[in-house]
A and B are shown apart, each in its own frame.
Chain A
Amino acid sequence: MDVSQYLEIFIEETKEHLQSLNEQLLVLEKEPDNKETINEIFRAAHSLKGMAGTMGYKRMQKLTHDMENVFQEIRNEKMKVSSTLVDGLFRGLDALEEYLDNIVNNQDEGTNDNQDIIDLFQKELQDGLSGGATPEASAPASTEASAASAPAATATATAAAADPKELLDSFTLTEQEKNLINKARSQEQQAYIVRINIQDTCVLKAARAFLVFKAIESVGETIKSMPDAQAIEDEKFDFSFSVVITSKKTMEEVQAAVMNVSEVKSVDIALIDESKCEAKAHEEQTADKAASGTANAAAAAQTKAPASTSKKPVVNRSVRVDIDKLDDLMNLVSELIIAKNGLVSISPADLVRDDKNSSFRDQVEYLERITTNIHQSVMKVRMVPIESVVNRFPRMIRDLSKKLDKKMELFMSGEETELDRTVIDEIGDPLQHILRNAADHGLETNEERIKAGKPEVGSIFLSAYQEGNNVVIEVRDDGHGIDVEKVKAKALERGTITPDQAETMSDKEIIDLLFRPSFSTAEKISDISGRGVGLDVVKTKIEALGGSVECRSVLGEGSTFIIRLPLTLAIIQSLMVVLGNEKYAIPLGSIQTIEDIPTTDIKYVEGKEVINLRGTVIPLVRLDKILDVPNSKQDQESLTVVIVAKGDKQAGLIVDDLIGQLEIVIKSIGKYINNSKMISGATILGDGEIALILDANTLV
Chain B
Amino acid sequence: MEIFDALMQGFATAVTPQNLLLMMLGCVIGLFVGAMPGLGSVNGVAILLPVTFLVPPTGAIIFLAAVYYGAMYGGAISSIMLGIPGASTAVATVFDGRPLAMQGKADWALVAAAVGSFVGGTISVILFTLFAPPLADFALKFGPQEEFALMMLAFATFIGLGGDDIPKTIFSIALGLVFAAVGLDEISGQPRLIFFDIPGFYHGINFLVLAIGIYGIGEILWTLETSQGDVRVSQASFTASRILDAFKRLKSSTVSIISSSFLGYFVGILPAAGATPASLMAYGVAKTMSKDPDSFGKGNITGVAAPETANNAASTGSMLPMITLGIPGSPTTAILLGGMIIWGLRPGPLLFVNHPEFVWGLIGSLYMANLFTVIINIAFIPLFVSVLKLSFTILAPIIFVLCIVGGYAPTQDLHDVWLIVIFGVVFYLLRKLNYPVAPAVLAIVLGPLTERALRQSLVAEQGNVATFVERPLSAIILVLAVLLIVLPVIKMTKHKKKSAAADDGPEADES
- Say whether A and B bind each other: no
